[in-house]
């Protein structure tokens, strides 16, 4: 998969950082998008270069279609094209429906769902012209079925929308040589969890452990490879069989507590 150019949105931290690093290891030139943390993005670029890879940091607010269009234009001017798009960026927050402001509602949906829609639209003309493209959206493991959870309405609605967008684009773009898939992480160890939180979360995963960002990155790397050239419209859960519906108890706050610790 060498000589391909990949854009990873929100690619400087957390899961996005692992994805950026993994695609660079596969020989791709990686455009690492960040919104405000330039230092983390430049640090990652340095690490990739030190490992013999190629990467460049690009600033843009992925909630803005105008900034995304400008971002893709800059990448195409610098690298010639965008072959692979990983829609990873997405804000997470907790609030009840009645406690969610109009502004917050739009921020969460625009960050998680709008960004994937805007970025996909921006790269698709070039992918179509070349007859090749790979788009991978980052979702959330338990939203493969429509269900509710307390204090998570905007986030889960957005991530459910990501799955629908994935499958819709997969059908629309199949004839153009473009695959569109979704990777849905479960409970992932961000490397900064206190021991008591890690233990609390781990007990709720059937496999008995939390996932690693590198495992999400490996799934993305597979889906953009030639090995997955006939896979499109799929939603691949990287979650150790975790599903919050199977973990509910009589305590209404359990799902909320779980996500509070996931976000910390």
- Active-site residues: which are they? 155
Residues 150 and 252: beta-carbon distance below 8 Å = yes
In order of 133, 184, 212, the CA distances from 15 in angstroms are 22, 11, 8
Query: In whole angstroms, how far apart are CA 106 and each of 56, 93, 110, 114, 153?
Result: 30, 12, 6, 9, 12
Rounded to whole angstroms, how far apart are CA atoms 178 and 203? 39
Helix axes 115-130, 153-173, angle to 10 degrees: 10
- Rounded Cα distance between 158 and 163, Å, is 9
Nearest Cα neighbor of 17 from 4, 5, 34, 1 is 34
Query: What distance in Å separates the CA atoms of residue 243 and residue 67, rounded to the nearest whole number?
Result: 36
Sort 73 into a burial class: Cβ within 10 Å, 0-12 / 13-18 / 19+. Answer: exposed
């Amino acid at each position: 998969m060498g000589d391909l150019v990949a854009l990873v949105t929100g690619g400087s931290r957390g899961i996005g950082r692992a994805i950026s690093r993994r695609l660079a290891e596969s020989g791709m030139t990686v455009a690492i998008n960040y919104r405000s943390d330039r230092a983390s993005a430049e640090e990652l670029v340095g690490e990739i270069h030190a490992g013999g890879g190629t990467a460049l940091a690009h600033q843009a607010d992925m909630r803005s279609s105008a900034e995304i269009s400008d971002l893709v234009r800059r990448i195409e001017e610098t690298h010639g094209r965008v072959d692979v798009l990983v829609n990873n960026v997405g804000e997470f927050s907790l609030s009840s429906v009645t406690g969610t402001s109009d502004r917050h509602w739009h921020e969460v949906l625009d960050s998680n769902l709008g960004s994937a829609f805007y970025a996909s639209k921006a790269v698709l003309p070039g992918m179509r012209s070349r007859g090749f493209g790979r788009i991978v959206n980052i979702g959330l493991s338990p939203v493969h079925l429509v269900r509710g959870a307390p204090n998570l309405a905007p986030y889960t609605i957005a991530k459910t929308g990501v799955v629908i967008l994935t499958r819709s684009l997969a059908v629309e773009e199949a004839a153009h040589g473009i695959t569109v898939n979704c990777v849905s992480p479960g409970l992932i160890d961000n490397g900064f969890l206190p021991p008591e939180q890690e233990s609390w979360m781990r007990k709720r995963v059937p496999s008995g452990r939390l996932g690693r960002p590198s495992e999400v990155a490996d799934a993305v790397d597979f889906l953009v490879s030639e090995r997955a050239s006939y896979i499109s419209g799929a939603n691949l859960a990287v979650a150790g069989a975790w599903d919050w519906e199977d973990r509910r108890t009589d305590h209404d706050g359990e799902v909320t507590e779980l996500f509070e610790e996931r976000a910390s």
